[in-house]
């Protein structure tokens, strides 16, 4: 039995964003979604670099026992490319991207994941998310400190704990699984999963039999829900080539920022850039609104991104810029774009500042009672009992003289699991209760 993929990839800017920072890829052996971040131009550069780095795996044969290593190596190369780009253009130092990708070798599938873009699997009546979000709110859910329902309104719901940023070591999740004929996989950015419920995603994938129709319908649903972010969806069906009438998809599809930025480069024949350009989709799948050859180039076209930039290419030189129109038209476009850029920067700064302020206010308004830092006595803490990247979100503000080994079994268990309180005054009251419940104190009072 020979299995293959029939797939479709689409990306849409959404209803509120000026540009698309998402990138996606679908090929015979590779599916990938990257959600860029970092402000104007930075996010699209980051996601484009990630997709360009990992898409090279689609053209190679990988033994099943080497797929995980190949994915890890490609992600590390992408992170290295981000680092070099930041050194060349320091204004991009805050850029980064998520990456969720699946590499296929027959029925064997290797999944690599970093950030909050997601992968889902529908197998028969079963539907499940097969990635785990690397976000603060997901950590709080895992620790039982907030519920799934509270995630949507949490002030730090957009805080990602892991991403490709060219500065931090790569720490992705990697897993190996076995695909079955009839499986349907869906990869997406949070512009889809953050707006469309898991139930609706399942119903859409179950009722739309064609991957193209399913991907388009999901993007439409996200836009109907407000489309607050860029939206990318890659849908792939696992088929048996001997019995499936339509057969597998034969052409690779690049969508989103990776496709748009590739369009600004004029590759020379038989060069790495030319081979990357040939990966672009020909017509039936790409952006929701395909880019025309005669469409006005974006404002960042003056610094095109070469998707094959890598230390392996020691003779690398920047690719030539795409042809421009007459000089007066170029000046007009510059005047037209910059007001929008400035407004966008102000809005992003305001949102980031507001998120930081309210997040800090929330953390500083929390108190709890727990074991002291030396593990011997009871202390009062301000903040949340959790760490982010090794940084504690709480501070020990009062260490009492109540020893842990003097507590009753019930009080000891409560303290070790931390006792939340509303204020320092409430903490003092609870401390006095613990002091009064000490077995020694009870005996002396009797």
Distances from the Cα of 221 to the Cα of 16, 125, 133, 193, angstroms: 15, 22, 22, 11
- pLDDT at residue 440, rounded to an integer: 59
Which pairs with CB-CB distance under 8 Å and at least 24 residues apart come from 223-226?
223/12, 223/14, 223/15, 225/195, 225/196, 226/15, 226/16, 226/195
pLDDT at 26 over 90: yes
CA–CA separation, 206 and 320 (whole Å):
46
Six-digit token string for 78: 């992408």
Place of tokens 């009839």: 182
Phi, psi of 321 (to 5 degrees): -70, 155
Q: How confident is the model at residue 389 (pLDDT cuts 50, 70, 90)?
A: low
Q: Show the domains of the chain with their CATH numbers.
A: 3-294 (3.60.40.10), 367-445 (no CATH)
Report yes or no: 12 and 192 within 8 Å, Cβ to Cβ. Answer: no
* Window from 82-86, 127-131, 281-285, 394-398 with minimum mean pLDDT: 281-285
- pLDDT at position 409: 81
Q: Pull the structure tokens for residue 139.
A: 């950590």
Question: Comparing 45-59, 84-98, 111-125, 429-443, which segment has the lowest mean pLDDT?
Answer: 429-443
The mean pLDDT value for 258-266 works out to: 60
Q: Residue 107 phi/psi, 5° resolution?
A: -80, -10
Which pLDDT score is estimated for 188? 98
Tens-digit pLDDT profile for residues 322-377? 332 333 333 333 334 556 667 777 787 777 777 767 777 777 888 999 999 888 99
Per cent of the chain over pLDDT 90 is 56
Arithmetic mean of pLDDT, 400-422: 88
**Residues ≥6 apart with Cβ < 8 Å to 6:** 211, 236, 237, 239, 244, 246, 247, 248, 249
| Residue 47 neighbours by CB under 8 Å, 6+ apart | 21, 22, 23, 34, 35, 36, 97, 256, 257, 258
* Tokens linked to 106: 């027959």
Confirm if 95 and 83 have CB atoms less than 8 A apart. Answer: no
For residues 273, 278, 282, 288, the Cα torsion angle rounded to the nearest 10 degrees is -40
DSSP-derived letter for residue 115 is S
**314: pLDDT strictly greater than 50:** no
Question: CA dist 413 to 82, 217, 325, 378, 388, Å?
Answer: 47, 51, 72, 12, 25
Q: Give me the chain's average pLDDT, please.
A: 81
Q: Which of 313, 307, 320, 318 is nearest to 56 (CA)?
A: 307
Looking at the predicted structure, is the pLDDT value of residue 56 above 70?
yes
- The helix/strand/coil state of 400 is strand
| Higher-pLDDT residue of 303, 36 | 36
Helix H segments across 166-232? 190-193, 198-207, 211-224
The pLDDT value recorded for residue 338 is 55
pTM check: above 0.85 = no
Structure tokens at 271: 């060069």
């Amino acid at each position: 039995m020979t299995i293959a993929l029939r797939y479709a990839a689409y990306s849409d800017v959404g209803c509120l964003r000026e540009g698309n920072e998402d990138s996606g890829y679908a090929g015979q052996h590779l599916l990938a979604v990257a959600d860029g971040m970092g402000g104007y131009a930075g996010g699209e550069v980051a996601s484009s670099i990630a997709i360009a780095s990992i898409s090279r795996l689609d053209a190679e044969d990988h033994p099943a026992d080497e797929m995980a290593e190949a994915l890890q190596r490609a992600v590390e190369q992408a992170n290295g490319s981000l680092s070099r780009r930041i050194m060349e253009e320091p204004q991009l130092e805050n850029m980064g991207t998520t990456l969720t990708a699946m590499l296929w070798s027959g029925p064997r599938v290797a999944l690599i994941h970093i950030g909050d873009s997601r992968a889902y699997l529908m197998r028969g009546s079963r539907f499940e998310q097969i990635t785990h979000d690397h976000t603060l709110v997901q950590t709080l859910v895992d620790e039982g400190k907030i519920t799934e329902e509270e995630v949507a309104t949490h002030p730090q719901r957009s805080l990602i704990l892991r991403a490709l940023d060219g500065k931090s070591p790569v720490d992705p999740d990697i897993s190996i699984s076995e695909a079955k004929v009839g499986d349907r996989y869906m990869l997406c950015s949070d512009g889809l999963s953050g707006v469309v419920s898991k139930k609706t995603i399942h119903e859409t994938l179950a009722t739309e039999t064609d991957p193209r129709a399913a991907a388009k319908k999901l993007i439409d649903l996200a836009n109907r829900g407000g489309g607050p972010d860029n939206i990318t969806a890659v849908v792939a069906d696992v088929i048996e080539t001997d019995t499936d009438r339509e057969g597998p998809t034969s052409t690779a599809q690049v969508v989103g920022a990776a496709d748009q930025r590739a369009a600004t480069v004029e590759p020379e024949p038989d060069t790495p850039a030319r081979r990357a350009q040939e990966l672009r989709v020909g017509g039936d799948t790409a952006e929701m609104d395909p880019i025309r050859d005669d469409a006005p180039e974006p404002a960042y076209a003056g610094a095109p991104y070469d998707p094959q930039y890598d230390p392996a290419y020691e003779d690398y030189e920047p690719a030539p810029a795409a042809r421009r129109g007459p000089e007066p038209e170029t000046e007009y476009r510059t005047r037209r774009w910059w007001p929008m850029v400035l407004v966008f920067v102000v809005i992003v700064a305001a949102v980031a500042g507001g998120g930081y302020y309210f997040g800090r206010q929330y953390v500083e308004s929390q108190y709890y009672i727990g074991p002291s830092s030396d593990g011997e006595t009871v202390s009062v803490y301000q903040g949340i009992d959790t760490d982010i990247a090794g940084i504690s979100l709480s501070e020990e503000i009062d260490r009492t003289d109540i020893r842990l080994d003097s507590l009753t079994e019930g009080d000891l268990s409560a303290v070790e699991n931390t006792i939340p309180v509303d204020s320092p005054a409430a903490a003092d009251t609870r401390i006095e209760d613990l002091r009064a419940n000490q077995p020694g104190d009870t005996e002396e009072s009797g």
